Amino acid sequence: MFQPELRRGPRPPLPPLAPPRVVLIALVLGAAFLACGGGESPATTTAGDIATLPAGKAVNLVEQARAGKLTIYDFYADWCSPCRIVGPRLEALARSRPEEIALRKVDVVNWESDAAVRQGIDFLPYLAVVSPDGRVLAAGSDSYLLLKDRYGLDLIAELRG
């Protein structure tokens, strides 16, 4: 029968602990490193040009569009089930074409918010598309058709399941 070898005699001393300040600094630097993409350079990142605008605030589609890129506005709400399907598809599209597409996400919060009222939103997810030269190409259901024609992204079929 196997018997584990038991250590006899005094234990070796433990290595000294780092001062608490050193540990805290290491934790902060590690968190900052991870928050910045873990050292990935912007040229190799797959994040895409995706930004979330202030929740519930009115949006000027042309002024807040990304110059030189097709800008897609995704008006959504956390409580909207279809928004949870459309949002990730739009993010994937923006990531796949980072030099061409900018995605701007706007949480409308509720139907009475400035974001919903100013855009005349009566359904969610509501999309709007602005051209690279700053013209509104489509808003509402026309945006879904434009994305299907231009990128083959059939969000309506995905929503129907």
Q: What is the pLDDT of residues 94-121, one digit of tens each?
A: 999 999 999 999 999 999 999 999 999 9
CA-based torsion, 25, 30, 33, 34: positive or negative:
negative
Return left, alpha or beta for 112; rule: phi > 0 is left, psi -120 to 50 is alpha, else beta.
alpha
Least confident window among 23-37, 82-96, 101-115: 23-37
Q: Are residues 39 and 78 in the same domain?
A: no
Q: Are residues 41 and 79 in the same domain?
A: no
Q: Are residues 32 and 90 in the same domain?
A: no
Q: Are residues 36 and 80 in the same domain?
A: no
Q: What would the two tokens of residue 84 be?
A: 């949870």
Q: Are residues 62 and 80 in the same domain?
A: yes
Residue pair 75/106 in contact (Cβ under 8 Å)? The answer is: yes
Least confident window among 11-15, 58-62, 67-71, 101-105: 11-15
Q: Which domain holds residue 39?
A: 18-46
Q: Are residues 71 and 83 in the same domain?
A: yes
Q: What would the two tokens of residue 102 be?
A: 């900018």
Q: Looking at residue 41, what is its pLDDT?
A: 33
Q: Are residues 41 and 58 in the same domain?
A: no
Q: Are residues 23 and 86 in the same domain?
A: no
CA gap 118, 112 in Å, rounded: 10
Residue 10 included in any domain = no
CA gap 28, 34 in Å, rounded: 10
Please report which confidence band the pLDDT of residue 39 belongs to, taking 50, 70 and 90 as the band edges.
very low
Q: Are residues 88 and 153 in the same domain?
A: yes
Burial class (CB in 10 A: 0-12, 13-18, 19+), 87: middle
Q: Cβ atoms within 10 A of the Cβ of 123, count?
A: 10
Residue 12 included in any domain = no
Is the pTM higher than 0.75? The answer reads no
Q: Are residues 83 and 40 in the same domain?
A: no
Q: Looking at residue 21, what is its pLDDT?
A: 56
Please tell me the total count of domains within the chain.
2
